[in-house]
Amino acid sequence: MRIKIFILALFISLNLWAQKEGFVIRGYIPGMPDGVKVTLMEKEGKRSTKAETIVKDERFELKGRVESPQAFMLITNNMEIQTKNPGMKIKWTYTDLFVENTEISITSGAYSELDSKSKLQVKGGQAHQDYEEFMNMKGSNREWDFIHSHPRSVVSVMLANGLLERGYNLTKEQVETLENNIIGCPCDTARYNEFKKRVALAKQTTVGAALLDLDLTDIDNRQVQLVDVVPKGKYVLIDFWASWCGMCIHSMPEVKKLAEEYSGQLEVIAVSCDKKQEAWRKAMERIKFPFPHYVMTEKGFNDFYYNKYQVRNGVPYYMLVAPDGTVLCAPHSVSQVRQILAEVLK
């Protein structure tokens, strides 16, 4: 009995020591030449480099510490040595992994067989084990299926937080399903608290909910409210864009064509998330988008990205408002807007 207690105590002590000391990632890739750079880059937050090293004798080691399990990308490239050996083929690899404060091993087959689509083999930590299980799942509903079967996994919370982004995409029932399925995240309470915050916000922006207001400025530099400038009694497409967003500007001719096809039934307004009015005004002059234009105030910007709509990964972002002022949905593209209009206006 004493031996069992001692072994358990030793295990707990080693685990606590690992969490305190941080992570160690050790890699061995047969045939990987000396000088290959290995980078551990964040996939969340600032997406900065967490650790970096150079391969020696087919091996590498990365050390660091995370406050909680976190998604990273492990990148290898031979650019440094390729410049000294022009005949060598440039080679990059990209491998997703979840890192927690434990020992992690990276292996693969021969380096000569790797290419940019190759994924190195990762072992170590419950978080990555869950992540790998999710990545191997099939089907369009795999996020929902994984969350349902892993109610306490940090990967489930990460997936749920992603699903809750970009308001007016989920139904009331879907938001409630996420809230009820995820019952905790012992290894990352901060992420779980963020999840609860996002659920509370998402309940206000479900499909069919009322349009939430945003503070805007019009072209005459007057402060106005989004709910006041959206025309009543017609379908309205709100085109959220920015001067620096190439995809937004590229899609504007298609939006213009759509408005012409549904003239008298569809109105369009353009709302920019530019922080500098000068950039917004110059872009308006350049693109000649023939609809009412507005730009977000600082408060409007924060509400758009974080406090109301949760459009965290940026524009383009479209919102289709019904004649009664409720939001039908937030279509992913202009072509989806066309499909929806063809259905509701048939």
Q: What mean pLDDT is predicted for residues 197-204? A: 97
pLDDT at 190 over 80: yes
The DSSP letter of residue 209 is: P
Question: pLDDT by residue (tens digit) across 208-228?
Answer: 999 999 999 999 999 999 999
pLDDT at 16 over 60: no
Confidence of residue 1 (pLDDT cuts 50, 70, 90): low
Cis peptide before 186 (omega within 30 of 0): no
Kindly report the pTM of this predicted structure.
Answer: 0.87
Q: Delimit the domains of the chain by residue range.
A: 23-127, 137-203, 210-345
Percentage of residues in the chain with pLDDT exceeding 90?
90
Amino acid letter at 188? D
Give the chain's mean pLDDT: 93
Amino acid letter at 170? L
Q: What mean pLDDT is predicted for residues 124-142? A: 96
C-alpha 206/C-alpha 209 separation (Å) is: 5
pLDDT at 14 over 60: no
Q: What mean pLDDT is predicted for residues 30-47? A: 94
Q: Which CATH class is domain 23-127?
A: mainly beta
Q: What mean pLDDT is predicted for residues 128-148? A: 96
Fold of 210-345: Glutaredoxin (3.40.30)
Q: Parallel, antiparallel, or unpaired for β 121-123 and 37-42?
A: unpaired
Q: Which helix (H) or strand (E) holds 106?
A: strand 103-107
Q: Which residues are 73's β-sheet partners? A: 41, 96
Q: Which residues contact 175 (CB under 8 A, 6 or more apart)?
A: 164, 199, 202, 203, 206
C-alpha 158/C-alpha 163 separation (Å) is: 9
pLDDT at 13: 45
pLDDT at 2: 53
What are the φ and ψ backbone dihedral angles of 187, each rounded to 5 degrees?
-85, -5
C-alpha 66/C-alpha 39 separation (Å) is: 16
Question: pLDDT by residue (tens digit) across 289-342?
Answer: 999 999 999 999 999 999 999 998 889 999 999 999 999 999 999 999 999 999
For 226, other C-beta atoms within 10 Å of its C-beta total: 22
Q: How many helices (H) and strands (E) does the chain have?
A: 12, 15
Nearest to 29 by CA among 142, 124, 110: 110
